[in-house]
Structure 1
Amino acid sequence: MTTTVTVIGGPTALLELGGLRILTDPTFDPPGDYPAGPLTLTKTAGPALSPADVGRVDLVLLSHDQHPDNLDRLGRRTMAAAPLTLSTFEAAARTGATPMHPWQHYDVGRIRVTAVPALHGPPGCEPIVGQVIGFVLTGDGSPTVYVSGDNASLGCVQLIATRFPAVDIALLFGGAVRTPMIEDRLTLNAVEMAVAARLLNARHVVPLHVEGWSHFTEGQEDVRAAFSEAGLDHLLASPVPGRPLLLMPV
């Protein structure tokens, strides 16, 4: 069984799996400045595809709704047009998404979506950054796919690996994000992404959310260098934005 991944930009990708068209953290707004509470975040690159280009969406996986680099204005419209969005309880209260706690599952067609833990910064950061979750997708005859969301915790990755010991495709959010509100990083850095890939026993890794915003401190080159240093560069799948890439468990 194969699956197709189309990188759109930032945290947004279209995953075609088990007959479903699944969109991660929808962001489609143009470059510019966007308010995020007391901060202003600057988007430096637009999406490779518009919502019209993407077409039908069966399911949206929303790691969180409180930051414009993970859900923006056009992304909200796209999400509203989809028949189902899965997210945190906080996001559900604000957006109408279907809420999930970590380790809950929700069956959509032939695919089981399991919510998994994520931590958007150092321990204790939740009162500032809010709830975040990731997702693992499984199904008979389908590859196992992990969507990390904005996660900075390798401890969370280790917990996920104990329940899902072999991940075929890992969509890992990185960028080593920093903002003035929290001193520590809010997402994995490139070296930690390589460690996460090893913990997950991943067969393919698609880096997401590693470029396009000024508050990211690392990019694709850092990811490639870290995976090469770890001897894992053969795992990296870096699709041309906007073009579907067919991935297959090996």
Structure 2
Amino acid sequence: MSDADLTHDAYLNGRFRVWQPARGYRAGIDPVLLAAAVPAQPGQSVLELGCGVGVASLALAARVPGLRLTGIEAQARYADLARDNAAQAGADLEVITGDLAQMPDALRQQQFDHVIANPPYYIADTRTAGRDSGREAAHAEATPLADWIDTARRRTAPRGYLTLIHRAERLAALLPLVEAHFGGIEVLPLVPRTGRAAGLILLRARKGARAALCLHHGLVMHEGAAHDGDRESYSAALRAALRDGAALPWPSRRHL
């Protein structure tokens, strides 16, 4: 892939930049929001399933120093870009090319304090044919969601965390899969604007926890009832996460 086929895009107000394909799947705000939801602490280990060009892991590295980051990515061209992006950012991110459903030997014997993922949002056979193969692989679910969660379960250390971002409409499919292996599940709906239905959810769970499911009040992403011009309308919490690399204000169970 030549430089003409790539763009060099800034994230977190330029705290890091990534090379990514000019056409096909391109990382937007979702991986940044995923990173902002991970309760990682300095010195911990993190595995990202399906890391793409590395945006979520690099955004997490920018917020939490001293993490040991690993990513697995099935598409070789994206994995290569993730390695280049990590080197450019000076991040401790090891990227392994491989299928999460057939975990490479390098990862089979490891467990991590955190496993994070942005699984494909759509069932593969509901998508139209002829799309860019990289975009299709990133957006359309070829590996069943159950395999993503089972892989996460195997790679998460005892008392470790799983953090996911997904479509709100897939929550019914996600919950029984996560409940089979994790406890203390918390769901944070991401609401486009006040009065709208959630389009995305963030889900956090802990291996070995016993706390009941907690559905938090939705986090509003944009100010105002509707888009009112060519300007950025992110809420203060979203601006802090997307521009400054801040953690999202995850509600406390104690205050519910």
Q: Would you call these one fold, judging by a TM-score over 0.5?
A: no
TM range, normalised to the smaller chain? 0.3 to 0.5
TM-score by length of structure 1 reads: 0.40
Larger Rg over CA atoms: 2
TM-score by length of structure 2 reads: 0.40
